Structure 1
């Protein structure tokens, strides 16, 4: 019998080399992107080929409540989880020698569970493959390092830097600003290296304590796996230094929000060539169709790219937020930007997704919009020349409206999977209902005695 550790990536083998592996964490992503699963002794993991979890984990809200099952009775049948050994990676912050392994969820009849976020992304990638295409993505991760916040009634504050002063805003690209919390960054680098992840770059963003990490382009599922792991990695690095890392879209009033910009290109499976460029290096109809698909279907996809009530606080003018569906070349005011590149790397950057989205679902939704454009072969609106910040848009500005648009877009629902969309809607409607029952400090301050 083959030792399962022979099938894991080199970085994971190096991590456990010469040491006794104590524990394996068997995990899947829920709708929110939270790691669910179970941990077990490595010796037990080696003896088993599959594990079980109830399918109801995909009906759990971010608050821990349970949405009603839109597909029938709440009987909670077990799913079968199969380990994807290619995802095995270290958990270097734990006291014991531990590996994490992402699992694929299948039904008891062997079919992919349609409500599992990783399966949703795999479904989209397969749709591209069926057309002879391979999507390539390059995500950017923005997040805030903040002071420890143990009272939800208190505002979030920037962290204290090594200078003894709180991190300052409006210091984009400042190396000194990054140095203020250099020990956290050092641990992020160290953890990433032990886990076998390639960081393309780290920089200071515009917010106080806001950091951006860029990842190299590659396979959508692999990169979604890495972001899934990275969120935990970054949180653990921050906790080591008495601060929090948050991926909320808008954690600090008056500061910019955190996005997960996604760069997209598509290659031909047979030739490996970028279908967005022709033999002369010019833009192709495929490229324009892809942009048109984004413009037509992104309003309905926003429910997945901006999945919480807080997400829509990013979509405000004058905070470098892409609040439009315009496209332009090297134009950061447009929601859809064409970065400077050679023909072989021609790509489209979707700047709408928030860092609070589930990476599997955010990438899947964005790719789904582009795929529909390629299939529908429509043309985009004219390129935006100049600032797009004041352009009127069809984007929704709250979660309820976003869910309504997703509910109405049958083409997007068919691509993502109807069962998944029903589950997603049930979870998000439940969360939105819970939020509407909470009275905010703003309401108490301005309405209590004035209306």
Structure 2
């Protein structure tokens, strides 16, 4: 075996990777990016071929594809099918192990630029950077903490068959309606243990993990921090969770509503804003009371989240979750400690005052969902948007309701000039075209329900 010579860039790697590697040779480096969906794409190479100072290239056409892989014609893009190269610049601060690989493998998220060094405007990671940059120009630093919900399921190899809960250690299928049950979590303990192992190898921090209300449904909470870093962690976690499940002949799904009679899966985001100079939470005034910025953030969220629903609920399936039942809100009302509202204010002290966005589904691209949610709050603070009165009771199907489907959501997104300017019009144009194409594809499908009830009965 050829002796492994450590390259100069090894000094840039985190200690967690070195602990994971031990004395093993690093065989491969994966230079990856999140696509529009939030899945990883990129290039893999032998470790001796990698250098953080080398620029790697991919065609820009990878951002013009729907979830099915079909390409979308976008009239506003001149010479779209020249498939120009975009530059991948490794961000070594994101380097970590691909812990599931058979050989020691390093993965690195890359920034995307033009050949001239300008950020690629349609790249999701750059969209989030753009929004965070607007906060910084105001002297603000946003802070977020995502909650990830997902299902473990039996392997589903036939899309025509319903998704089923996994079989646990008792030999029985996982049961629902067992929120916070430790017994339910222990049913698929080996998968959970592997998730923890992968997280440790990658240097990813888990705050808590619980059994959610669905059969085989898990919630994983992350520590609060910088939006870009947390989006990177969600991106890494989703990949790791899928791989951990596969190690145990189980699927992990991030569909918003995978099973008809079980709750949907969300990606709740806790949000606050601190003053860059002082480090103080600007959602609280000097007396510890709610500040104008706090109320304006809520007001902006109420006004603009309905406009960016395609980024928060990006598929037709997403709206099956947002039906006002099973703990999923159908509104942008706000209230303290009230889980029926889309905007919940958790019980906390003045220093930790925050707004929890409960609308977002786990099927979103984390970069885009966090960017859209922060953009809505940003516009509220800049424009001093007043919120509606606080809800004082359960809220179901009333007040400021969400669009009832992707078609209605896209109509609102098309007309949302202010928030499109914050997110970047080039990105919004491409994203809107992709979502319209996916909606057309979805409408062309004939469902099992139609075949069962209409084929011989009408």
Give TM-score, length-normalised by structure 1: 0.98
| Cα distance, 1:2 vs structure 2 | 8.1
In the other structure, the counterpart of 2:92 is 85
CA distance in structure 2 between the aligned counterparts of 1:133 and 1:238, rounded to whole angstroms: 39
**2:48 is the counterpart of 1:43:** yes
CA distance in structure 2 between the aligned counterparts of 1:345 and 1:48, rounded to whole angstroms: 40
| Cα distance, 1:395 vs structure 2 | 1.4
In the other structure, the counterpart of 1:396 is 403
**2:96 is the counterpart of 1:57:** no
CA distance in structure 2 between the aligned counterparts of 1:408 and 1:312, rounded to whole angstroms: 20
Check whether the contact 1:9–1:87 (CA below 8 A) recurs between aligned residues: no
Aligned pairs for 1:71-82 (under 5 A) are 71-73=77-79, 74-82=81-89
In the other structure, the counterpart of 2:13 is 8
In the other structure, the counterpart of 2:283 is 276
CA distance in structure 2 between the aligned counterparts of 1:19 and 1:160, rounded to whole angstroms: 35
| Cα distance, 1:392 vs structure 2 | 4.2
Q: Residue 250 of structure 1: SS of its match in structure 2?
A: coil
In the other structure, the counterpart of 2:193 is 186
**2:391 is the counterpart of 1:384:** yes
In the other structure, the counterpart of 1:320 is 327
Q: Residue 187 of structure 1: SS of its match in structure 2?
A: helix
Aligned pairs for 1:362-441 (under 5 A) are 362-441=369-448
CA distance in structure 1 between the aligned counterparts of 2:7 and 2:139, rounded to whole angstroms: 34
1:355-403 C-alpha deviation (Å, 9 max, x unpaired): 0000000100100000010111011000000101232434111112111
Structure 2: runs of 5+ lacking an equivalent = 1-5
Which deviates more from structure 2 when the two are superposed, residues 428-437 or residues 390-399?
A: 390-399
| Cα distance, 1:7 vs structure 2 | 1.6
CA distance in structure 2 between the aligned counterparts of 1:151 and 1:392, rounded to whole angstroms: 41
1:1-49 C-alpha deviation (Å, 9 max, x unpaired): 9811212222223333432111000000110011010100000003852
CA distance in structure 2 between the aligned counterparts of 1:382 and 1:164, rounded to whole angstroms: 50
In the other structure, the counterpart of 2:337 is 330
CA distance in structure 2 between the aligned counterparts of 1:391 and 1:440, rounded to whole angstroms: 30
Q: Residue 12 of structure 1: SS of its match in structure 2?
A: helix
Q: 1:121 to 1:47 in 2, by over 3 A?
A: closer
CA distance in structure 2 between the aligned counterparts of 1:336 and 1:126, rounded to whole angstroms: 24
CA distance in structure 2 between the aligned counterparts of 1:136 and 1:23, rounded to whole angstroms: 34
Q: Post-superposition, which runs of at least 4 consecutive aligned residues in structure 1 deviate over 3 A?
A: none
**2:24 is the counterpart of 1:19:** yes
In the other structure, the counterpart of 2:243 is 236
Q: Please, what is the CA RMSD of the aligned residues?
A: 1.3
| Cα distance, 1:92 vs structure 2 | 1.1
Which deviates more from structure 2 when the two are superposed, residues 20-29 or residues 314-323?
A: 314-323
In the other structure, the counterpart of 2:258 is 251
1:202 to 204, 209, 223: 209
2:161 to 154, 160, 183: 154
Structure 1: runs of 5+ lacking an equivalent = none
Check whether the contact 2:9–2:52 (CA below 8 A) recurs between aligned residues: no
CA distance in structure 2 between the aligned counterparts of 1:46 and 1:159, rounded to whole angstroms: 42
Which deviates more from structure 2 when the two are superposed, residues 247-256 or residues 422-431?
A: 422-431
| Cα distance, 1:444 vs structure 2 | 2.0
The number of equivalent residue pairs is 451
CA distance in structure 2 between the aligned counterparts of 1:131 and 1:12, rounded to whole angstroms: 36
| Cα distance, 1:131 vs structure 2 | 0.4
| Cα distance, 1:404 vs structure 2 | 1.3
CA distance in structure 2 between the aligned counterparts of 1:398 and 1:8, rounded to whole angstroms: 44
Check whether the contact 1:21–1:42 (CA below 8 A) recurs between aligned residues: yes
Check whether the contact 2:308–2:372 (CA below 8 A) recurs between aligned residues: yes
In the other structure, the counterpart of 1:94 is 101
Check whether the contact 2:52–2:90 (CA below 8 A) recurs between aligned residues: no
Check whether the contact 1:124–1:368 (CA below 8 A) recurs between aligned residues: yes
Q: Residue 367 of structure 2: SS of its match in structure 1?
A: helix
Give TM-score, length-normalised by structure 2: 0.97
1:216-240 C-alpha deviation (Å, 9 max, x unpaired): 0000000000000000100011011
In the other structure, the counterpart of 1:165 is 172
Q: Residue 46 of structure 1: SS of its match in structure 2?
A: coil
